[in-house]
């Protein structure tokens, strides 16, 4: 059985076209008509592949690379052999991504897993739902009454779109997603297995049991948001849960009720954000960060992986640790603890007398 290639380049680009697209500088006399049809890492690239080098760790691989062309930073260009066609550019990786997007546009957005257009015979669309022309619905998907779906949107196999949900144009809703009580903008990507719009976790606790608090808000997801597989976003209790324009959320993230996330935030895998927390624009949360309820994280702040934000974080702050504190303070504490541990280990080391004499015999 041959190995399938799941993504094929839409068309090839010449080296000259790549230089124009990225602003890269070609060496004099370079073969501008050389065609590039794919991308590959430095050590696996072949004569029709584009690669890049922007890290000193991989400079040694330039000598043995068989790439058709290599995007490279000026400081590494002298390390490349003459046989390797180099395109010198300020930010090689960003340029590489620009070319990759041009070659493989289909990889930017999930498509129908059934490779079809229109509504599949195995899908269930309520008569009161409204789908614009150009919507694709894969087998097993269910779209409830009064739901609205914009043109160019793909609803994956087994996805459930609840009553009254609105989904904009050119969106991708992954297989087995559940979306209820939500309004979703244009060009939103929601990867498989996400649960959006379910009850927030709200109970009044007492000696005789826990009384459920009605959750009557919505989830608002603005344009150009991307949400990774397995993420859960609860609807609001008495206000809406909001995900701001252009924000990118990784896999397996939990976002509680009434949370407000600003524009262009980045939230990495396994983050947990408690109810009524607020993230202002351009916040970055590393993997497994925890944010306590009602905490506000200021614009442009960044939290290192595993940090716990138990109180407000100022705009532009760089924080880490538990509880989260300014990064410099956190690093000083880590070093101090390390010194104490080393000192303690040295103090506890037995000497010759403890071992029963010079030879360590009892």
Active-site residue list? 257
Provide the β-strand partners of residue 226. Answer: 189, 248
The secondary structure of 264-313 as a DSSP string is T-EE-TT-EE-TT-EE-TT-EE-TT-EE-TT-EE-TT-EE-TT-EE-S-B
The C-alpha torsion from 338 through 342 and 345 to 347, rounded to 10°, is -130
CA distances from 327 to 269, 303, 322, 324 (A): 21, 9, 11, 8
Among 7, 262, 261, residue whose Cα is nearest residue 109: 7
Instruction: Tell which phi-psi region holds residue 318, choosing left (phi > 0), alpha (psi between -120 and 50) or beta.
Output: beta
Rounded to an integer, what distance in angstroms lies between the CA atom of residue 302 and that of residue 315?
9
| The residue to which tokens 């719009």 are assigned | 197
Check: CB of residue 218 under 8 Å from CB of residue 236: yes
Among 149, 134, 141, residue whose Cα is nearest residue 120: 141
Q: Token pair of 101, please?
A: 């997007």
Rounded to an integer, what distance in angstroms lies between the CA atom of residue 162 and that of residue 144?
5
Q: What is the DSSP letter of 351?
A: -
| The residue to which tokens 């506890």 are assigned | 348
Neighbours of 360 (CB within 10 A): 10
Rounded to an integer, what distance in angstroms lies between the CA atom of residue 289 and that of residue 305?
6
Check: CB of residue 216 under 8 Å from CB of residue 237: yes
The residues near 334 (Cβ < 8 Å, ≥ 6 apart) are none
């Amino acid at each position: 059985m041959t190995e399938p290639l799941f993504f094929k380049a839409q068309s090839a680009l010449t080296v000259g076209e790549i230089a124009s697209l990225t602003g890269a500088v070609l060496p004099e006399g370079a073969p501008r008509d050389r065609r590039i049809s794919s991308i590959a890492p430095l050590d696996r690239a072949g004569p029709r592949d584009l690669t890049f080098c922007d890290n000193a760790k991989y400079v040694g691989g330039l000598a043995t690379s068989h790439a058709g062309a290599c995007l490279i930073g000026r400081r590494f260009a002298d390390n490349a052999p003459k046989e390797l066609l180099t395109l010198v550019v300020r930010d090689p990786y960003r340029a590489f991504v620009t070319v990759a997007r041009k070659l493989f546009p289909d990889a930017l957005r999930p498509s129908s897993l059934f490779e079809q257009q229109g509504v599949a015979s195995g899908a269930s669309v309520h008569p009161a739902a409204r789908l614009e022309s150009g919507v694709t619905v894969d087998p097993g998907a269910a779209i409830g009454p009064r739901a609205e779906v914009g043109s160019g949107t793909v609803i994956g196999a087994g996805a459930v779109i609840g009553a009254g949900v609105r989904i904009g144009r050119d969106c991708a809703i992954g297989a087995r997603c559940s979306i209820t009580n939500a309004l979703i903008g244009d060009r939103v990507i929601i990867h498989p297995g996400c649960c959006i719009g379910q009850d927030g976790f709200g109970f009044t606790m007492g000696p005789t049991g826990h009384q459920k608090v009605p959750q009557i808000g919505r989830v608002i997801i603005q344009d150009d948001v991307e949400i990774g597989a397995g993420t859960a976003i609860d609807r609001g209790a008495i206000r809406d849960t909001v995900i701001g324009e252009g924000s990118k959320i990784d896999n397996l993230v939990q976002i509680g009720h009434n949370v407000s996330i600003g524009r262009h935030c980045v939230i990495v895998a396994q983050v947990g954000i408690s109810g009524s927390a607020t993230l202002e624009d351009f916040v970055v949360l590393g993997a497994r960060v925890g944010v306590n309820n009602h905490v506000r994280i200021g614009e442009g702040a960044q939290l290192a992986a595993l940090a716990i934000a138990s109180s407000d974080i100022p705009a532009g702050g760089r924080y880490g640790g538990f509880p989260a504190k300014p990064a410099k303070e956190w690093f000083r504490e880590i070093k101090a603890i390390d010194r104490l541990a080393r000192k303690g280990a040295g103090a506890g080391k037995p000497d010759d007398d403890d071992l029963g004499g010079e030879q360590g015999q009892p």
